[in-house]
Amino acid sequence: MSDARTITVGVDGSAPALAALDWAARYAHARTAPLEVVVAVGWPAERPVYGGYRLAELKDAARIDGERTLGRAVDRVRAALPDLAVSGRVSDGPAVQTLLDASAFSDPVVVGCRGLDPAASVLLGSVSSAVVTHAESNVVVVRADRHPGPEAPVVVGVDGSERSETTLAAAFAEADRWNAPLIVAHAWSDVSLVGMFGSSVVPSWIEARRDAEALVAHQVDAWRAKYPSVRVGTVVEREAPARMLRERSATAGLVVVGSHGRGGFAGMRLGSVARQLAHHADAPVLVVRTH
């Protein structure tokens, strides 16, 4: 029986997209969930002629190429996981809008770290960046050159907010699903309040660390009973959260981060930590949509 909605992965034939495809297939198989492979071939309609070719001719050629890309992708999945329910479609719309539309019924949407246009973004492709920022569902960004071992941990960042409970729940579920150890990481800032309120309110770092450790222990204890088989470790550091999680990503199998943190505000689509991890992490990043 399936325990999840459809998992959608965007494919364009590039190496990052194939890495995303392989990851999404394994993920769907682990969740007993159907996998949908999407190839988008949309062209902007502002100009009817491009380089002497009519837009209709280019669209026809793009669709033919898209069907070939889709066929190869679906065959790749079926060869690796013949019992996985996999389907595919070619969309005539732009890639970003196609994947955003899919996010309304998928969880998660999986994208590669970059696509066929390497100039679109130095670090994260323009399509992936837009999907991470605006998708309705959770999003996974997959790195093409990472092959973590079976003991690679799931790493999750928490900040003590109600939003991080949603992130922690997702991380425990992922660690349980992959039979992987879970590292719950919390970074506390060393920002001094002297310049703002005077020296009398300078915090004690020993007290701050103790409070941070108690916060993490409280959050984790609430989930241990639900996932007794998950091996849990905690890390509390005086560090910037994004930097801490990026360093941990070097040996992680998956990094889980909330789309918003304690500092998020209404209408904000993506928090700074999630944005930095999506761009810079060395492991696949699951961005958990928190509202």
Domain chopping of the chain, boundaries: 6-142, 154-288
Q: 6-142 and 154-288 share one CATH topology?
A: yes
pTM: 0.83
Cα torsion for 204, 208, 214, 217, to the nearest 10°?
-150
- Identity of residue 118: P
Residue-level pLDDT, tens digit, the chain, 291 residues? 445 689 999 998 888 899 999 999 999 999 999 999 999 987 655 555 555 556 666 777 888 889 999 999 999 999 999 999 999 999 988 889 999 999 999 999 999 886 444 444 333 467 888 898 899 999 999 986 666 666 799 999 888 777 788 999 999 999 998 899 999 998 876 543 344 444 444 456 677 778 878 888 888 888 988 999 999 998 888 888 888 899 998 899 999 998 875 544 444 455 788 888 888 888 999 999 876
Q: Say what the pLDDT of residue 104 is.
A: 92
Find out whether the peptide bond into 108 is cis, omega within 30 degrees of 0: yes
Query: Would you state the pLDDT for residue 71?
Result: 95
CATH for the stretch 154-288 = 3.40.50.12370
CB 273 within 8 A of CB 241: yes
From CA 274, how far away is CA 140, in angstroms rounded?
A: 11
Q: For residues 158 and 168, is the Cβ–Cβ distance under 8 A?
A: yes
Q: What is the pLDDT of residue 63?
A: 84
CATH fold for the domain made of 6-142: Rossmann fold (3.40.50)
Using CA atoms, how far apart are residues 152 and 182, in angstroms rounded to an integer?
9
Cα–Cα distance for residue pair 208/189, rounded to 1 Å: 9
How far lies 200's CA from each of 81, 189, 191, 192, 241, in Å?
A: 63, 18, 15, 11, 26
Q: In this predicted structure, what is the pLDDT of residue 51? A: 54
